[in-house]
């Protein structure tokens, strides 16, 4: 049996049969991709060894763009075209974004951004109007390329995490972004559920666990029950517009108030955001509550400097922390549990590093929360575990996830009232139905308006879709029996079917929320992305060529240092010339030139490699005879 056929128990004996599946944490502040390798989930690094990818995209004049750290470095320099925290805009209209006037972006009304208005906000950049879906797709595509570069193979699929409190529109927008990035979505799972997997709670004692997830832009609280290896989310809550960004903004507003200043320009707002985040992170690591950290920022050409203590920061953001605990109380009420019944609390999200958060959670639950895993990586690691199982790589896996729907689903009835069909916190996947009838004699059609929310009036809920059931046989009012069935799949996405029972006439709709993108819009965006595909492939090819060249150059230099005496002066000069040519090629932007120079260096050093091998063999055999070998 060949050596490559040997594998760990439960793993595929043929590595080429293994499907490459990853977990992706598409975060507000930063994003990560992770995979199970040799039975262990780990985050995948970029060429510089960094696992975190800042969720920032900068568009350049002429059609170019920068993503991640390169874009982050330009945030203060070009704030209007450098978009951060786009996750907060997913599936949202401008009226849904609190304090949007304090952001440095040029928001566009959906109707003017496209001929097919979707209701979702758009952002004007030098590269044209961009939707949050397109921006998220740029980040997802970068993570996809990272995974494919790591495994040297195409990606089979990905599990992508979403906040537990993401509604139908936000989940659909996330799937649209993945499609645009060329990713096959195996499953959307909630971030708290993924965190529980990463912590190995499936191997923990049975009971009730809480997952407190405070990220850069969203807050989730989930109450999970673990029973015989089955994760069941029994209640969820949170705020999709509350996170570390709000703590930054509150700190910046407090400092401005103390200094009696205002931020007017887009550059001022962006500089304030950067300074506030730096000050917050520094405050999270100070040794004493009386120590202070300088908040420094350039506003309108003047330097503003203010010393902030942890106590001042905690006081300035106390209302935000209280909002998270209010959501925790509501989730416990929904689960009909007391906080003393919670066996353990898992902390997720980079914002949980703030000391006041850890103290507040410990005081509320009366126990020290679990913080032994990196809060930035834990969600991606859990998603990777689930992806590995869904791809069929873990044949021994017996993990079962039972997630819940975050908000109730129903239809509009007479008088603008909501009739709930699927209640919030219902375990998914699920299918639930209810019978309705006609309102007027001879009525042959029924208009159905699908809504989501907890309010009793349609006007106070989010509209998801409208469709009609036609062909109902004329009957007296109340005689028809129309069954409306709501089916929610494992990703939390909805299909609605209406069927008149006596005649069999039916209609159905796969709900694409008004804040999602139409199929035509996605097709158009995919076509637009083709125009930059060549540029993207060129950039990736150049990076790979430079990495290979660097390795060859380093190996040649090490060999010359160790065994250069084996070469004649002429041979050494030839290799030095090839080495210099490879170094010069690294400065060029043409991957083919770099590859050619690397290949010439490899071919030109073949004879030298043979000489080194002969020397090594002679040294190994020195003083030995055939009988002793």
- Selected catalytic residue, list 134, 167, 202, 213: 213
CB 85 within 8 A of CB 99: no
The residue behind tokens 């000069």 is 573
Tell me which residue of 307, 308, 311 sits closest to 289, measured CA to CA: 311
The residue behind tokens 């150059």 is 553
- Selected catalytic residue, list 46, 66, 87, 202: 87
**Rounded-to-integer distance, Cα 289 and Cα 620, Å:** 64
**Rounded-to-integer distance, Cα 453 and Cα 410, Å:** 8
DSSP string, 20-43: -EEEEE--SSEEEEEEEETTEEEE
* CA 332 distance to own-chain centroid: 27
Q: Extract the tokens encoding 621.
A: 């055999």
> CA neighbours within 13 Å on the CB side: how many for 129?
14
The residue behind tokens 């929310």 is 453
* Active-site annotation holds for 25: yes
Q: Extract the tokens encoding 362.
A: 């410990």
- Cβ atoms within 10 A of the Cβ of 557, count? 13
* Active-site annotation holds for 87: yes
CB 279 within 8 A of CB 293: yes
- Selected catalytic residue, list 25, 46, 96, 246: 25
- Strands 302-308 and 293-299, by their bridges, are antiparallel
**Rounded-to-integer distance, Cα 493 and Cα 452, Å:** 12
E strand or H helix that includes residue 427: strand 427-428
- Strands 30-37 and 53-54, by their bridges, are antiparallel
**Rounded-to-integer distance, Cα 14 and Cα 556, Å:** 34
Angle between helices 378-390 and 191-198 (to 10 degrees): 90
Strands in 79-173 per DSSP E: 82-84, 106-108, 122-125, 128-130, 157-162
Tell me the β-bridge partners of 506.
499
**Rounded-to-integer distance, Cα 388 and Cα 340, Å:** 35
**Rounded-to-integer distance, Cα 434 and Cα 421, Å:** 7
Q: Extract the tokens encoding 453.
A: 């929310």
CB 306 within 8 A of CB 259: yes
CB 467 within 8 A of CB 507: yes
Sign of CA dihedral 50, 53, 59, 62: positive
Edge-to-edge order in the sheet of strand 82-84:
65-67, 56-59, 82-84
**Rounded-to-integer distance, Cα 609 and Cα 552, Å:** 13
- Selected catalytic residue, list 138, 191, 202, 377: 191
Is residue 495 exposed (0-12), middle (13-18) or buried (19+ Cβ within 10 Å)? Answer: middle
User: What are the catalytic residues?
Assistant: 25, 87, 191, 213
């Amino acid at each position: 049996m060949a050596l490559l056929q040997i594998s760990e128990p439960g793993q595929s004996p043929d590595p080429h049969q293994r499907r490459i599946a990853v977990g992706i944490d598409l975060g507000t502040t930063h994003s990560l991709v992770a995979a199970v390798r040799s039975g262990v989930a780990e985050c995948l690094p970029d060429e510089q060894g960094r696992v975190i990818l800042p969720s920032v995209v900068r568009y350049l004049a002429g059609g170019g763009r920068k993503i991640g750290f390169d874009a982050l470095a330009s945030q203060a320099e070009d704030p209007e075209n450098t978009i951060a925290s786009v996750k907060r805009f997913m599936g949202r209209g401008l009226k849904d974004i609190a304090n949007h006037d304090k952001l440095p972006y040029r928001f566009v009304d959906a109707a003017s951004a496209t001929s097919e208005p979707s209701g979702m906000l758009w952002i004007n950049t030098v590269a044209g109007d961009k939707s949050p879906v397109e921006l998220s797709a740029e980040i997802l595509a970068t993570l996809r390329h990272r995974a494919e570069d790591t495994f040297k193979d195409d990606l089979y699929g990905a599990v992508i995490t979403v906040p537990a409190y993401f509604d139908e529109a936000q989940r659909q927008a996330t799937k649209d972004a993945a499609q645009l990035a060329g990713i096959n979505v195996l499953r959307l799972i909630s971030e708290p559920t993924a965190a529980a997997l990463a912590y190995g709670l499936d191997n923990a004692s049975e009971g009730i666990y809480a997952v407190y997830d405070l990220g850069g832009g969203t807050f989730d609280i989930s109450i999970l029950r673990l029973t015989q290896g089955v994760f069941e989310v029994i209640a969820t809550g949170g705020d999709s517009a509350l996170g570390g960004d709000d703590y930054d903004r509150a700190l910046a507003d407090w400092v401005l108030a103390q200094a009696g200043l205002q931020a007017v320009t887009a550059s001022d707002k962006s500089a304030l955001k950067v300074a506030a985040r730096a000050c917050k992170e520094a405050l999270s690591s100070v040794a004493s509550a009386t120590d202070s950290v300088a908040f420094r920022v350039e506003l309108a050409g003047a330097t503003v400097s203010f010393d902030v203590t942890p106590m001042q920061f905690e006081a300035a953001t106390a209302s935000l922390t209280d909002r998270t605990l209010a959501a925790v109380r509501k989730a416990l009420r929904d689960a009909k549990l007391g906080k003393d019944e919670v066996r353990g609390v898992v902390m997720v999200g980079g914002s949980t590093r703030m000391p006041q958060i850890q103290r507040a959670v410990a005081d509320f639950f009366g126990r020290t929360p679990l913080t032994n895993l990196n809060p930035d990586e834990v969600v991606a690691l859990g998603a990777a575990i689930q992806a590995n199982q869904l791809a069929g790589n873990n044949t021994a896996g017996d993990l079962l996830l039972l997630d819940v729907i975050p908000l109730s689903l129903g239809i509009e009835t007479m008088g603008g009232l909501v009739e709930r069909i699927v209640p919030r916190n219902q375990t998914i996947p699920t299918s639930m139905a209810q019978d309705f009838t006609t309102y007027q004699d001879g009525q042959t059609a029924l208009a159905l308006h699908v809504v989501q929310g907890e309010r009793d009036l349609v006007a106070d809920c989010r509209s998801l879709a409208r469709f009609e059931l036609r062909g109902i046989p004329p009957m007296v009012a109340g005689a028809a029996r129309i069954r409306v069935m709501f089916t929610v799949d494992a990703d939390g996405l909805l299909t609605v079917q209406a069927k008149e029972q006596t005649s069999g006439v039916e209609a159905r709709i796969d709900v694409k929320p008004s804040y999602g993108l139409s199929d035509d819009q996605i097709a158009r965006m995919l076509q637009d992305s083709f125009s930059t595909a060549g540029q993207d492939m060129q950039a990736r090819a150049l990076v790979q060529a430079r990495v290979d060249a660097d390795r060859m150059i380093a190996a040649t230099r090490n060999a010359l240092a160790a065994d250069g005496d084996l070469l004649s002066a002429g041979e050494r000069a030839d290799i030095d010339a090839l080495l210099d040519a490879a170094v010069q090629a690294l400065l060029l932007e043409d991957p083919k030139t770099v590859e050619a120079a690397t290949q010439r260096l490899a071919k030109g050093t073949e004879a030298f490699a043979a000489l080194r091998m002969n020397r090594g063999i002679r040294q190994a055999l020195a003083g030995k005879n055939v009988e002793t070998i």
